[in-house]
Amino acid sequence: MEVIVTPDRGSAARIAAKIVASLLARNPSGVLGFATGSTPVPLYQELIRMHREEGLDFSRVTTFNLDEYVGLAPEHRCSYHSFMRENLFNHVNVAPQRIHIPDGLTDDIETFCQSYDQQIRDAGGIDLQILGIGNNGHIGFNEPSSSLASRTRIKTLSAQTLRDNARFFGSEENVPKHVITMGVGTILESRRCILMAFGESKAVAVAQMVEGPVSSMVPASALQLHSKVHVIIDEAAASQLTRLDYYKWVYENKPR
Ligand code: F6R
C-alpha cells in the first residue's frame, strides 16, 4: 500500500483526482468504481471542477458503484442513485447508459448480484475503484466477518454502521438494514484502488487496515493483498499508524 498523508481533504482530493485524470488520459474508456458517503465528496467536487475548467472527459467512461440500500427507489433522496446524481453524475458528461449502481428494488437479489459481477467482467473489469472505510473497517458494506472472497451480494448492516449512517436519514430507525454491496473479492479484482479516510474516527480502522493482520474482522485489511492501493488520508486519520514517519519519508522520496 502507498500511504499518502495530506494536510487536509482538499489536498487529498486533488491527489486522488490526478490519479483518475491520468488514468483517463491513458484510457478515455476506463472503468471507474465509485463510492458514496462523506469521504469521496471533495474528490467528486475536484473532478467536476476539472471537467468544467480543464475538459476532463467522462463521455466514454463506464462506472460501477459499490453499493445501494435494499428497498430504496433510485428517486429516494437517501438512495445512492440520488447521491451519485447530486454529487457527480449531474455535473459531468458520463453517459447514463454506462452508469451502474445496484438496484435496491430488485425482486431477485441473488440473480441481480450475479449479473452485476458479470456486468463488471463484461466491461473488462474495474480499472480504478474509489473506496472509503467504515469506522469498523468495512469497505463497500462488507461488515466485519465478511468473507474476504465474497462477491456482490446482500448484507445486513451492523449496529455501528446503522448509527454512523443515521445522519443521512434523520434517525437510526430510518436506515435500511440491508444493502447490496460488491464483495471484498469483487473489490480486490479492481486493477487499482484509492482508499480515502478523514478524521480521527477513522484512525483505528486505518491503522488496522494498513498495519494489522489480514482479517475478515477488518475487511479493509484485505487490501494488503492488492498490489496497487493508494491510501490517501489526513493527519487525524493517520494518527494511529505506528510507521507514519516512514510512510511520509517514502512519499517525499518517491522515485520519479
Ligand atoms: C459507501 C461505502 C462505505 C463508505 C464508508 C465510509 O459507498 O461503500 O464503505 O465508504 O461507510 O463512509 P463515510 O465516507 O460517510 O465516512
Tens of pLDDT, residues 53-102: 999 999 999 999 999 999 999 999 999 999 999 999 999 999 999 999 99
Q: What is each CA distance from 214 to 82, 189, 193, 210, in whole angstroms?
A: 34, 17, 17, 9
Given the candidates 3.40.30.10, 3.40.50.1360, 3.40.50.720, 3.30.465.10, the CATH classification of the domain at 6-232 is: 3.40.50.1360
Cα of 39 from ligand 1 centre, angstroms: 7
The pLDDT of residue 256: 83
To the question of pTM greater than 0.95 for the whole model, the response is yes
Q: Which of 65, 87, 136, 142 is catalytic?
A: 136
Tell me which residue has its CA closest to atom 2 in ligand 1.
140
The pLDDT of residue 67: 98
The pLDDT of residue 7: 97
The pLDDT of residue 229: 98
The pLDDT of residue 27: 98
Q: Determine the 3-state secondary structure of 111 from DSSP.
A: helix
- 138 counts as catalytic: yes
Tell me which residue has its CA closest to atom 11 in ligand 1.
134
Supply the Cα-derived Rg of the chain in whole angstroms.
17
- 136 counts as catalytic: yes
Mutate to test the pocket of ligand 1, among 32, 39, 81, 200 (most ligand atoms within 8 A of CB): 39
230-234-236 Cα angle (round to 5)? 130
Domain boundaries, the chain: 6-232
Alpha helices (H) in the chain, listed in sequence order? 9-26, 41-54, 80-87, 109-122, 159-169, 184-188, 203-211, 235-238, 244-252
Residues in the ligand 1 pocket, defined by CB under 6 Å = 35-39, 66-67, 132-134, 138-141
Residues of the chain with pLDDT under 70: none
